[in-house]
Amino acid sequence: FSVTSDHYFPWLRSQGHSPYAWSVLGAAAQATERIPLMTYVTCPTFRYHPAVVAQKAATLQLLSQGRFRLGLGSGENLNEHIVGGGWPSVDVRHEMFEEAVQIIRALFKGGHVNHRGTHFDVESARLWDVPDEPPPIGIAVSGEKSCELAGRLGDLVIATEPKAGLLEAFDRHGGTGKPRVGQLPVCYDTDRDTAIHRAHAQFRWFGSGWKVNSELPHPDSFEAATQFVTPDDVAESIPCGDDPDAFVEAVRPYAEAGFTEIALVQIGGDAQAPFLDWSEKTLLPALRDAFG
């Protein structure tokens, strides 16, 4: 499957790009035939009203002929501050998120929806293009409350850390038997030093964790927060180079924690094509040998 972040800004200026995810997904749906597509993840509470997210997701499910999964999360200040609505506490963001998911699910049913809620209003909304099977909803988690929401409201769970405790909490709240998707940044290059340099330049923010990253409002904030992160620090947490064993060992904690899928996020736009070619020939066979 293929995933895309839904961002207004990049995390760091060195990443250089941040296109509109839904246009990219529409193009990808038409350029591909089999690979599943997924937002990783969309915030349905600030930049987007949940009724609009529901329409976009339903349309993309039709364009992709049933290959789309709607990954949702409670958002990052980095992207959501642009509409001037402030950045409330995490408890309020979770309240908004739960209400938004309920609205999206109601609209996926195809009828008229009227809603007067704590955070959102919907007036006589209806989706006129509704797929026979609505896109499954994935929910990103980082703690107990988000795991509770994911288990109760989601069709799958998304996490960026290989913590078995997150999946245990997800299961406690209704997630048993549902897919669990992990995320791992990787940096393939035939020259390991080049890969480490690229990973440090573009992804050194990743190790800060989402409790920090979700609060930072601008790429310059990420620059300041990561100014003391060294290339060696990055190389310890992100597999770099072209040794498949290093990539397999980086995936192993996710498999052992109970994740059923993992998104390998190759760092660097110019390196996508060679990474995919190497993955097909070398990495994917190694992963299959290791994990079945």
Q: Could you give the residue numbers annotated as active site? A: 7, 76
Q: Are 195 and 270 in contact, with CB atoms under 8 Å apart?
A: no
Three-class secondary structure of residue 154 per DSSP? coil
Q: Are 218 and 146 in contact, with CB atoms under 8 Å apart?
A: no
Q: Are 185 and 267 in contact, with CB atoms under 8 Å apart?
A: yes
DSSP assigned state of 137: E
Residues whose CB is less than 8 angstroms from the CB of residue 56 and which lie 6 or more positions away in sequence, other chains included: 22, 48
Site of tokens 């809620």: 117
Residue 8 CB coordination number (10 Å) = 15
- The C-alpha atoms of residue 37 and residue 256 are separated, in whole angstroms, by 25
